[in-house]
Structure 1
């Protein structure tokens, strides 16, 4: 069946177009035209979003779970449930993010995730494009809720075991630059095709610059679990904000970062290096209560997830992150869309699989109203919301 999607405008990942008409067939974009230049096929199913902006579906590079499940479960049920939930909120792709756990548990989870990734994508369901290792090579001082007993010193041999268990699917790794061996590991991981993100770190500016020189390309949930900014020792945060080549994640939920900090980050990183993430855990989309994050309990109340009084991920979805970002900063819809589609795809080296809309590509797109709210989500040609 042919499907047609129309709206007020389209941001295709590079430029804006007025009055678009997108023809979808067999889950892929067949053509992109305008209302005036192309007729709507007689038997096509039509999704019209008056006044909205169409854009590439979202790509979350930092998410631990949702809808009651955690990626450390690494089961078909967990990924199916999470994928269905994410698609309904505009996300078509993600990096399944691990949390620091015992090495054996992590290896089992990576193998399970890799096995699920080998399956064909399901229409109407978000799919993993890789794995993000958040741990075990993190700072004890800035570990947040990451279990201290499972943190490890950077080790090329251990990293290679993790990469092998994941069948080569690790796409991103968070690393504390100040740890002995971190710079060498950053260079090695980069040579193996894994992007390195600095984070969970008490690093100085010099230590951070060394990791960037070794290949680090991004920063994990900027401001959170980072050495505070100081005018005499800018530290990791000062370096992240002033290194124009470095991508930078942000959790835009009004809990992890206040609106003033979001505006500061936006001014510092700009439209080509800023990335919105959720850092969501199993409680996303669920009522208040107790949930698991990689095997330890997290309490959720009034939208705030904590373990032992420390923030433990979020219950954010990327559609809400976009609406918050637009409201906090005054950015345009197309500027906001770039932060959760094109930029994460560019950072991970997956621009051929996400972040843009063009004929021949998978029909993964969102419709966003003038306030930044999601009004439609289509994943694999299937309407998911």
Structure 2
């Protein structure tokens, strides 16, 4: 007999107010109406965070496998059943050692892959990236990392205006690695060229990008306008004004807007002094900023908090759930395996109360302790 979880089930097509999810070991066997259920909890798919640097006092940015396990465990308790390990701009030696350290965790299923946010980024839009490490894209470096990772490298963020960027994008996409546009001072046309070359994600849209101008629309408009690009949005009220969050969501649609945390080690921890990729970060009232210039340095967001923020900003819950699970899963090439409450997909789900706080988390058919 399959297990059954009853409640208000959020599917990609809407909400089943009186519903149930039936499970067969680690898979979803059925999603159906279940009229005897009254006012149960919300049942949503496990969240998919395609951009996170750390959490719970631990970080991905050093390439330490034990820290990576702790980050994944911390975010799992907040409903994130699938996540990429995002590294900030680093020397190539660290990129190599992190790939070697994390590839076994990807094979084990602890991580869904590695995301290199840099170092092939714009100095003018580096944000909290370390300017010392920024450089032009190297197809040699990328080819070596892809081979070394044997499937572990899942996404690379680069600035399309840098020399060699289009060749790098073509190499990445040829190896089924997602090419993302971010930390960029690119023009509208340069961004469109990157999309034409295969780029399919906009890294934390608006943040670390040349701003919109009516005579030079820049990367934001080019990415929002591209039908095959998923735009990441940090829904924490700090990175984006809620009006911009809802504008971008309505423009791209929930099928092209993905909620991310961009979380750092300080997530879930007290205010104080932290490190992000070798740079000092001060967290005050939960807002992380570089000590040297006050630039926003990632977030202290979790995916459940991002979902609550998006819904409070006016995004319908079915759309917000799609943005927190279904769309990011598809963006990183896992939409056929997880990210929605659909028959045959992995049984990852989160039970939320009426205030959208996490009650229970299931990953692969097993409840998380």
Normalised by the shorter chain, which TM-score bucket?
Answer: over 0.9
Q: In 1, are the aligned partners of 2:11 and 2:44 still within 8 Å (CA)? A: yes
Alpha-carbon shift at residue 291 of structure 1 (Å): 1.9
Alpha-carbon shift at residue 370 of structure 1 (Å): 4.5
Is 1:325 the counterpart of 2:324? The answer is: no
Aligned length: 367
Alpha-carbon shift at residue 89 of structure 1 (Å): 0.7
Task: Name whichever of 148-157 and 195-204 sits farther off.
Answer: 148-157
1:383 counterpart residue number: 367
CA distance in 2, matches of 1:84, 1:24: 23
1:72 counterpart residue number: 61
SS of the residue 2:320 aligns to? helix
CA distance in 2, matches of 1:246, 1:27: 31
Of 176, 180, 188, which residue of structure 2 is paired with 1:197? 180
Alpha-carbon shift at residue 58 of structure 1 (Å): 0.4
Is 1:221 the counterpart of 2:220? The answer is: no
2:301 counterpart residue number: 316
| Equivalence map 1:173-192=2 (5 Å) | 173-192=156-175
Q: In 1, are the aligned partners of 2:72 and 2:83 still within 8 Å (CA)? A: no
2:319 counterpart residue number: 335
| Equivalence map 1:256-271=2 (5 Å) | 256-271=239-254
CA distance in 1, matches of 2:39, 2:273: 40
CA distance in 2, matches of 1:2, 1:245: 37
Q: In 1, are the aligned partners of 2:361 and 2:367 still within 8 Å (CA)? A: yes
Deviation string, structure 1 residues 165-200 (Cα, Å, up to 9, x no partner): 323311111110111111121112111111111110
Task: Name whichever of 334-343 and 73-82 sits farther off.
Answer: 73-82
Deviation string, structure 1 residues 192-248 (Cα, Å, up to 9, x no partner): 111111110000001001001100111000110000111111111221223333210
1:107 counterpart residue number: 96
**Cα–Cα, structure 1 residues 134 and 235, in superposed 2: closer, same or farther, change >3 Å?**
same
SS of the residue 1:350 aligns to? coil
**Cα–Cα, structure 1 residues 102 and 76, in superposed 2: closer, same or farther, change >3 Å?**
closer
Alpha-carbon shift at residue 33 of structure 1 (Å): 4.0
1:235 counterpart residue number: 218
1:356 counterpart residue number: 340
The two structures, once aligned, show a CA RMSD in angstroms of 2.1
CA distance in 2, matches of 1:31, 1:267: 31
Deviation string, structure 1 residues 121-171 (Cα, Å, up to 9, x no partner): 4xxxxx311111101110111111211111121121111122223233111
2:260 counterpart residue number: 277
Task: Name whichever of 228-237 and 50-59 sits farther off.
Answer: 50-59
1:11 counterpart residue number: 10
CA distance in 1, matches of 2:19, 2:63: 39
Q: In 2, are the aligned partners of 1:20 and 1:33 still within 8 Å (CA)? A: yes
**Cα–Cα, structure 1 residues 181 and 49, in superposed 2: closer, same or farther, change >3 Å?**
farther
CA distance in 2, matches of 1:262, 1:360: 32
CA distance in 2, matches of 1:32, 1:237: 37
**Cα–Cα, structure 1 residues 20 and 82, in superposed 2: closer, same or farther, change >3 Å?**
same
TM-score (norm: length of structure 1): 0.89
Is 1:254 the counterpart of 2:237? The answer is: yes
TM-score (norm: length of structure 2): 0.93
User: Which segments of 5 or more consecutive residues in structure 2 lack a partner in the other structure?
Assistant: none
**Cα–Cα, structure 1 residues 251 and 49, in superposed 2: closer, same or farther, change >3 Å?**
farther
2:147 counterpart residue number: 164
**Cα–Cα, structure 1 residues 36 and 255, in superposed 2: closer, same or farther, change >3 Å?**
closer
CA distance in 1, matches of 2:68, 2:190: 37
Deviation string, structure 1 residues 47-72 (Cα, Å, up to 9, x no partner): x9944331211000000111111113
CA distance in 2, matches of 1:238, 1:18: 37
Alpha-carbon shift at residue 2 of structure 1 (Å): 6.2
CA distance in 1, matches of 2:38, 2:200: 37
